């Protein structure tokens, strides 16, 4: 993607990595639109960041995605970057089946169907742009799962596979496909305690390293910070079993 002058749509931009990336991209000279279900959070972001735009969107509502896509390209005809960041992560006790299915199905709807539907709805527009990007925020857990969050881990594995396949199908077009692969980061994805967990990577450090990677290599396919490489390359390095045991004592 271009280093600047992009028009970027960021799902899940009301908090955490989504908000921090949106603010970083805006500071780098891009027009940014954030989406989310919590309008209060969206308003908080735009109040603190004049110039960032916000639109309500529930990525689990398939009926609203097509209408949203039509309206967003009308309002922002130069839209050329879509970052599928919205996601949920829930602890599941599979032994409690079928009681765990509600969390599993919500995770699939948000983390898999949401980005696939939105990408599909916006792809015709992106293909008409001279330089565009579809990005997916996955996770290091796509490569070494955490057993306490099985559907979340599986959903990120699915989106990694989808990104690889989409990239291959879009060869020769104006659309590039990027995967952003975070480690465990200090956000409130799994509750307030995560935001101050000393075992998690500080959010500001994660964003700074991620933006450095993207800006130094605009055609990067996978954005992997140093702290996440142990997970991302566990299979290639022959350390999968060791890393899995560390992650799942």
CATH number of the domain bearing residue 177: 3.40.50.720
2: in domain:
no
3-state secondary structure 231-246: HHCHHHHCCHHHHHHH
Domain count of the chain?
A: 1
CA–CA separation, 20 and 142 (whole Å): 22
Maximal CA-CA distance, the chain: 51
Residues assigned a catalytic role:
152
* pLDDT at res. 202: 96
Percent of the chain with pLDDT over 90: 93
- Span 45-70, average pLDDT: 95
Mean pLDDT over all residues of the chain? 96
What's the pLDDT tens digit per position in 181-226?
A: 999 999 999 889 999 999 999 999 999 999 999 999 989 999 999 9
Give the DSSP per-residue string, 61-123.
Answer: -HHHHHHHHHHHHHH-TT--EEEE---------GGGTTTTHHHHHHHHIIIIIHHHHHHHHHH
101: in domain:
yes
Q: At 46, is the secondary structure helix, strand, or coil? A: helix
Range of the domain at 76: 7-247
> DSSP code of 13?
T
| Model pTM score | 0.96
Stretch (H or E) spanning 124: helix 114-127
């Amino acid at each position: 993607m271009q280093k600047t002058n992009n028009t970027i749509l960021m799902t899940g931009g009301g908090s955490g990595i989504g908000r921090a990336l949106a603010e970083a991209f805006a500071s780098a000279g891009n027009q940014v639109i954030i989406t989310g279900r919590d309008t209060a959070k969206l308003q908080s972001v735009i109040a603190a960041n004049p110039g960032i735009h916000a639109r309500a969107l529930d990525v689990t509502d398939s009926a609203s995605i097509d209408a949203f896509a039509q309206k967003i390209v009308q309002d922002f005809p130069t839209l050329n970057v879509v970052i599928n960041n919205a996601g949920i992560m829930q602890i599941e006790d599979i032994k409690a089946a079928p009681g765990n299915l509600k969390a599993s199905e919500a995770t699939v709807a948000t983390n898999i169907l949401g980005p696939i539907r939105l990408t599909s709805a916006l792809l015709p527009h992106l293909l008409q742009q001279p330089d565009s990007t579809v990005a997916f925020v996955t996770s290091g857990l796509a490569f070494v799962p955490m057993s306490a969050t099985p559907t979340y881990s599986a959903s990120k594995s699915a989106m990694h596979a989808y990104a690889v396949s989409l990239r291959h199908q879009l060869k020769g077009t104006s659309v590039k496909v990027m995967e952003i692969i975070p480690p465990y980061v200090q956000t409130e994805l799994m509750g307030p305690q995560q935001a101050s967990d000393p075992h998690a990577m500080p959010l500001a450090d994660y964003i700074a390293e991620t933006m450095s990677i993207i800006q130094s290599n605009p055609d990067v396919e996978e954005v992997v910070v140093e702290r996440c490489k142990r997970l991302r390359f566990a299979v290639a390095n022959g350390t999968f079993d060791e890393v899995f045991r560390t992650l799942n004592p």
